[in-house]
Amino acid sequence: MSGRLVVVTRGLPLHGTGGMESVAWDVSRALAAGGSAVTVLTTAVPGHPATSTLEGVDVRALPGTAPGRYSRAWWGASRRALEELLRAGPVAGVLSVSAGAFSCLDAAAPAGAPRPRFVLQAHGTSVAELTSKLRSGSALTALSGVRNARALLRDARTYRRFDAVVAVGPAVAASLTSPPLGRLVRMPPVRTIANGVDTSVFRPDPDAAAAARRELGVPATARVLLAAGRLHPQKSLDRALRGLHELTRTRPDLDPHLVLAGDGPDEGRLRALAGQLGVQDRVRFTGPVPREGVARLAAAADVSLLTSRWREGLPMAVLESLACGTPAVTALTTAVVAGAGDAVTRVDAADAAALAAATAGALDRAARDGRTGSLLPAHHELRRVAREHERLLRGA
């Protein structure tokens, strides 16, 4: 295929970071599997070489940059790295994962060389994040929104320079095209391309599920609730613990157990809260889990929970759960998964009784329906998503 595709992202799963980084990597390797030459520019990865080839993708972790973070060093190094690629041969398109390639818009191409198409992949907007913070009820969180207000001004200057924008879900697309962004910015064409899941990894797997349950040490008849992701105050996993406590009280027949799959700064507080609520014996803290391990846990779970108080575009944890045949219960701040039907229940996750009732309902439906296959809507399949990105990057 003519012309290299370049993906610019501050983080990859190699950095141990979250959903947006996983999306960047999945799209990159799917593009490579489809026959494109793909280079990923990312920040330095401790313990990994500056250049490597992984699953057919040329990965360049730029030395001197802060791992997983935007910095002055990153803005300069990423622009220079793209200029080097432009000198080496034709580049058809550059995918900016969030703000990753903002400085690359200023990259100088060799005389006579065509400018690549620049596509922004938006997982959220500064407007939506600012709104979430102002509604959080926390004065400290609201004050941190000053940074988002500054980002709004940056976005207004930068978005218009892209050839196209990918919104990962309808809520993100609406935020991009409605006031204030839609009024402040002469927005390039916005296209919704949903996040994609690698269904060769995330799939129903009874054998792996049974093994995972044995390793977790939960009773054979217990219902397993899974919350996969970083243990960070933003994720509000205290809500999951309070929901577990209420579910244990109101539906002891379910024998519910909660698995918190991940690590992060909120772990100590969550462990203490589990003890205060008296559910510590029903909670499993796994620590960091590789993606293949998350797939096993998702297949083993009876329902997954996402209780964040912040607005979530379209979290991979929910989609990956559905791909494994596991229904999800999410906060109202989480975007609707089109086509998922009653496999996803949205609820006021701040209300422990409501969260417990919604979780019990999802468990009862799953037991009644006896579904054993994937619950993932077809438009979230990774290969299909990668083909849509490729067409946009190449201007097809």
Q: What is residue 125's predicted lDDT score, i.e. its pLDDT? A: 63
Neighbouring C-beta atoms of residue 396, cutoff 10 Å:
8
User: Which DSSP string do the residues of 245-278 spell out, in sequence order?
Assistant: HHHHHH-GGG-EEEEEEB--TTHHHHHHHHHHHT
- Non-local CB neighbours of 124 within 8 Å, separated by 6+ positions: 172, 175, 311, 313
User: Taking each helix axis from N to C terminus, what angle separates 19-33 and 382-394, rounded to the nearest 10 degrees?
Assistant: 80
Q: What is residue 17's predicted lDDT score, i.e. its pLDDT? A: 59
Query: Which residue in this structure is represented by tokens 């940074």?
Result: 147
**Torsional sign, CA 350, 354, 356, 358:** negative
CA 167 – CA 150 distance, rounded (Å)? 21
- Token pair for 52: 């490597």
Question: Measured in Å, how far apart are the chain's first and last C-alpha atoms?
Answer: 12
Exposed/middle/buried for 21, CB within 10 Å: 0-12, 13-18, 19+?
A: buried
CA 279 – CA 288 distance, rounded (Å)? 21
Q: What is residue 1's predicted lDDT score, i.e. its pLDDT? A: 57
CA 158 – CA 188 distance, rounded (Å)? 11
Q: What is residue 357's predicted lDDT score, i.e. its pLDDT? A: 98
Strands, E assignment, the chain: 4-8, 38-43, 51-54, 57-62, 91-97, 117-122, 164-167, 190-192, 223-228, 256-261, 283-287, 303-306, 328-331, 344-347
Neighbouring C-beta atoms of residue 204, cutoff 10 Å:
18
For residue 183, the Cα-to-chain-centroid distance in whole angstroms is: 28
- Non-local CB neighbours of 354 within 8 Å, separated by 6+ positions: 347, 348
Residues of the chain with pLDDT under 50: 127-128, 130-136, 139-146, 148
Q: What is residue 126's predicted lDDT score, i.e. its pLDDT? A: 53
Beta bridge partners of 62: 43
Please state whether beta strands 164-167 and 190-192 pair in parallel, antiparallel, or not at all (unpaired).
Answer: parallel
CA 172 – CA 152 distance, rounded (Å)? 14
